[in-house]
Amino acid sequence: MFPIRDDNPHFLTPYVTYAIIGLNLLAWALLQGLGGEPKLAMSVCTLGLIPGDLLNTVPAGTSFQISPNLWCNITEDSSWHTILTSMFMHGGWLHLLGNMWFMWIFGNNVEDSMGHGRFIVFYLLCGVVAAVFQIMSNTESAVPMVGASGAIGGVMGAYVLLYPRVHVHMFVFLGFFVTTFAMPAMFMIGYWFLLQLVGGVGSIGAHGGGTAFWAHIGGFVAGAVLVIFFKDPKLVARHPYHGWNPQRSPTQSWRRIK
């Protein structure tokens, strides 16, 4: 299943959502060479978050292979900046486009509930908490973590608390069977979160690369908690589909409220 769109109108022009998507695309083009080597591997090595490097649990001078022709070295230099830079790096085209699509669908309505300034801080905090969860899952890992999915997990955590009954349209591909259907956000995002929990538990004790499930879980939890403090009651009150008992039943219209 893959989300296509939601039936959630918005009041504000989501400038921050657009800017975050734009920054990720710029980073992909300028810092990661549009996925070409050696820029991709070098960017993951130097701007990705490596728990063992950050916490000095891996000895300085340790080398690990990140691509057939590139080895990364653990140094004694501080790498705390990678908590933020890793949020704008990606491992491939599908990784980038998938994250940005989720941000496009869910980011505008969360920004709509907070206003532009609060949403910037909210997004970055979710990304930081996501990084902390992933670090704590394996403090001695030498595998770089990259991607915006932790912070976007926070956006989804906020979305499901703000607009649980709004319909999300899904694309389903099962072999020769292809269809679309709509389901409430609480079921779609709840199913996504359940998959992250299953994957996170299964990854405990594992070594090597893969999906940063604990970053997704941490970001989601952070978003679900932080939205309580970051939402603007005045902005939320004017939204017709907010909460468990919205002012109007969710519709099939997909538009911006003028």
**244 to 96, 110, 114, 164: CA distances (angstroms):** 32, 16, 19, 6
Q: Which has more confidence, 38 or 124?
A: 124
Burial environment of residue 200 by CB neighbours within 10 A (0 to 12, 13 to 18, 19 or more): buried
With H, G, I as helix, E, B as strand and everything else as coil, classify residue 209.
coil
- Tell me how far the alpha carbon of residue 66 is from its chain's centroid: 23
CATH architecture of 2-237: Up-down Bundle (1.20)
**Which run of H or of E encompasses 170?**
strand 167-174
Q: Average pLDDT, stretch 165-183? A: 86
**pLDDT at site 131:** 95
**155 to 106, 123, 248: CA distances (angstroms):** 7, 7, 23
Instruction: Give the Cα separation of 102 and 207 in Å (integer).
Output: 28
Write the DSSP symbol of residue 27. I
Instruction: Give the Cα separation of 166 and 7 in Å (integer).
Output: 6
Structure tokens at 62: 């340790």
Question: Mapped to the 3 state alphabet, what secondary structure does 64-123 carry?
Answer: EEEECCEEEECCCCCCCCHHHHHHHCCCCHHHHHHHHHHHHHHHHHHHHHHCHHHHHHHH
Please tell me the pTM assigned to this model. Answer: 0.90
Q: Average pLDDT, stretch 28-45? A: 91
**pLDDT at site 76:** 66
Instruction: Give the Cα separation of 146 and 212 in Å (integer).
Output: 9
- In tens, the pLDDT along 53-86 reads 888 887 777 777 666 666 777 776 768 899 999 9
Residues 6+ apart with CB under 8 A from 39: 31, 32, 33
- Tell me how far the alpha carbon of residue 85 is from its chain's centroid: 14
**pLDDT at site 254:** 44
